[in-house]
Chain A
Amino acid sequence: MSAAANTYYDRRGIMGTLGRDGLLQIILIANTIIMLAPIVIMVFSAFKTTPQIFQSPFAIPDFTHVGNFLKIWTQTNFLRYLLNSFVVTGASMVLILTLGTMAAYAIGRYQFTGSTFILMFFLAGLTLPLKLAIIPLFMLMRDLSILNNQLSLIFVYTAMGLPTTVFIMTGFIRTLPNELEDAARMDGASEARIMWAIMLPLVRPAMVIAGIQNVVPIWNDFFFPLVFIQNDDLKTLPQGLTTFMGEYTTDWGVLFSGLTLSAAPIILIYIVLSKQFIAGMTSGAVK
């Protein structure tokens, strides 16, 4: 028997096993086709003219027709939306990782009264959807005079990202050894220096996980911009996409190119970093 027989995969019961694995393989292949087909059709259609899309939706284009992309580049606010998404997501991520690490470090590294309560406070609302508190949030942003301002999005995303970040990072920080820290303390290093120079470099893996877990939902969010942002120049990519789709309803080539361009950045990063992405996005649920 081959080495595979020694692993825990059941490869005995010849007829049954062959049939079983064959069936599972068919399920997987069928599923992968179903998962990829819509994305492939989207990309193909982006390189076709509208009549070509209607006449032969499944044909492989020669990828030389880039008129749709040019139109998006030159005639729409698409680049502006993309830039806005970068700004909002980037600023939120910096705040989430900074503040999240600070809180997790304090909770995970020091013993002080109320630390359990503070952790609970951060974890409160971990599953409750903040969407349903949109009316008070809207009023709050109005009172802070940041409606129609990217700060409103950055603040909400930061607050939303903190619970998971504090959760993931506190658990990680607690597992770090004490020896390094104690040695540094003996040498007279300040608490701030211990955190910055000794502990932070060790925390990086948890920061990557927390970062991925937050960056995808923030980059993709549509709901909060829908409520907070009116000005077209401030719209993020998912929100801008609705404007764009509304303007080009009959030009399907341009519609598919817009979708393709919007999807491209995250698909490309995902394909390169799929392992980290999967670990990051499922980490909260797998623990």
Chain B
Amino acid sequence: MPKLRMTGRGLWITILIVPPLVFVALFIVYPIVSAFAYAFFDWQGLRRGEFVGLDNFWTVLFVEPYRSWTINAFSHNIIVFFALMVLQNGLGFILAYALWRELPGARFHRVAVFLPVVLSTIIVAYLFKLFLHPLFGVVNISLKGIGLGWMAQPWLGQGGTALWSLIIAQAWHMVGFPTLVFLAGMQRIPGEILDAVRMETESEWVKITKVVWPLVAPSATIVFTLLFVGAFNWFELPYIMAGLDGSPFGSTDVLGLYFYRTAFGNVSSGQQDFGLGSALAVLIFLFIAVIAGVITTRLRAREIQL
């Protein structure tokens, strides 16, 4: 290819870099930037109306009934985040620690703990929806079978238990992920350090809190950040298990559902508003970006101290 040689490396690099750049620019950067722009306009269905400044933001934050919906969904996301922090990441840490000791069967347990992670959320959501069925679901049938029939209830059908059912299904689905990230972190701890600690103390607790935990801090930063981002744009599992309205009575509504409903509408409300939807998207975006940034820098700083 003499022609290529003549025009040189510059052209070759351009050929390599431009097509992928176009994809990212067109389908990631442009939509994200546009989402911000859209939020400042009034929308009539798919048609953009006039510039309305911060009106859309004002509406979703301070005007009823949007204000209550926003607060309701947001508060559920916070519950989800903290619950998953304990159930998913906390349990993940314990499981990682158990796997790390390489007890008999550790390899099998490792494969098993990650198995649900590869399943589609839709499969997991339907599976749990069927299991939690008030009459025919295995959960209530087993409770009755072991003489705890009084505990059987319509798990997804009442406000008090619906959100928690979703959280447990989510934790079951994803617990393998933090487990294996923590495990990888533990496996990188040098043997000499552990030998030194063994001389110093017999206490498992001291070993975990003073040695293992600080040394897996980089893994912790990553799983915390990913959980945070995941919890605040949670959509598929509540959508399938509880429906787009966050039923019953909004008790399972989260920002993802609320945003989707506001933007694309649903059968019962019939409303579709790209302006309000975009304002919500921007607020969720900013919230995630700011907090994820804080988590990362704060925890990174702490890692260095340790």
Contact = CB atoms under 8 A, between A and B. Distances in A.
Contact of A118 (B17, B26, B97, B127): B17
Contact of B130 (A58, A256, A271): A256
Given A36-B115, A136-B30, A27 B120 contact: no
B4 A28 contact: no
Contacts of B226: 127, 285
B114 A278 contact: yes
B281 A132 contact: yes
B13 interface: yes
Contacts of A237: 120
A34 interface: yes
B16 A105 contact: yes
Nearest to A118: B17
Contacts of A122: 20-21, 24
A133 B19 CA distance: 22
B24 A159 contact: yes
B202 A255 contact: no
B204 A20 contact: yes
Contacts of A220: 119-122
A259 to B, nearest CB: 5
A282 B123 CA distance: 21
A216 B120 CA distance: 8
A140 B30 contact: yes
Contact of B20 (A20, A32, A54, A162): A162
Interface in B100-115: 101-106, 108-115
Interface in A141-190: 142, 155-156, 158-160, 162-163, 166, 190
Given A125-B28, A255-B126, A285-B219, A131 B256 contact: yes
B154 interface: no
A98 to B, nearest CB: 9
Interface stretch (B31-39, B67-75, B77-85): B31-39
B207 interface: yes
A106 B17 contact: yes
A216 B114 CA distance: 13
Contacts of A259: 123, 126-127
B12 interface: yes
B131 interface: yes
Interface residues of A, number: 96
Given A222-B122, A227-B264, A58 B27 contact: no
Interface string A31-61: 1101110110110000000000110011000
Nearest to B110: A278
Interface stretch (B158-166, B283-291, B298-306): B283-291
Nearest to B39: A135
Interface of A: 7-10, 12-13, 16, 20-21, 24-25, 27-29, 31-32, 34-36, 38-39, 41-42, 53-54, 57-58, 95, 99-100, 102-103, 105-107, 110, 112, 118, 121-122, 124-125, 127-137, 139-140, 142, 155-156, 158-160, 162-163, 166, 190-192, 216, 219-220, 222-223, 227, 237-239, 241-242, 245, 252, 255-256, 259, 262-263, 266-267, 270-271, 274, 277-278, 281-282, 285-286
Interface of B: 1, 4-5, 9-10, 12-13, 16-17, 19-21, 23-32, 34-35, 38, 46, 91, 94-95, 97-99, 101-106, 108-123, 126-128, 130-131, 136, 138, 141-142, 172, 176-177, 180-181, 184-185, 191, 194-195, 198, 202, 204, 207, 219, 222-223, 225-226, 229, 233, 235-236, 240, 256, 259-260, 263-264, 274, 277-278, 281, 284-285, 288-289, 292
